[in-house]
Homo-oligomer: A and B are copies of this chain.
Amino acid sequence: MDRPTLISDKWRAGYAAQRLAEFTARCRRRGLAITPQRVAVMRVLVNSGDHPRAETVFAEVRRQYPNISLATVHRTLETLCEIGEARKVTPLHDSARYDGNTAPHHHVVCVRCRKVCDIDAPEFNRLLHGRRTLGDFELLGCSVEVHALCGECRKAAAANA
């Protein structure tokens, strides 16, 4: 049973190089133009190990393209997610969602309509196996988000296709 480990910067460097190599081909396959801005945003993102915000990517790309617009960075990041070249760290994001259930539990989230339901899964609560630390981090707990399509959205998707 492998214990959780932090992903190293070394691994990421190699990974970034490979991802960038595939990038133009994947854009072409999707019919997306290969613009310097798009490539720059992709390069900055894939070389970042810290899950940056749009503003942060903007600041970095701006050093090479001083005229790039923040709107372009937002649009590009969104595009990258759509084509599977990136993802958001959390899929829920338009507005905060609150939960009155403070018992330890987890969630299943519909990726289309964002419905969130509670799930009770005792084994999810044992994921850390009593570990107290991970690298520099002092562990406090964990929560699992199961991504799914709810019944309604499944119907909608089927009807649509």
Contacts and interface: CB of A to CB of B under 8 A. Distances in A.
Interface of A: 1-7, 12, 15-16, 19, 42, 45-55, 57, 77, 80-81, 84-90, 92-93, 95-103, 105-108, 110-111, 115-124, 127-128, 134-151, 154
A88 B99 contact: yes
Given A47-B100, A53-B96, A135 B117 contact: yes
Contact of A95 (B3, B55, B99, B127): B55
How many copies of this chain? 2
Given A7-B120, A90-B90, A142-B147, 14 more contacts: A2-B121, A47-B100, A50-B115, A57-B98, A88-B96, A108-B134, A108-B137, A110-B137, A123-B127, A124-B127, A127-B127, A136-B151, A137-B146, A137-B151
B119 A146 contact: no
Contacts of A103: 15
B115 A86 contact: no
B98 A77 contact: yes
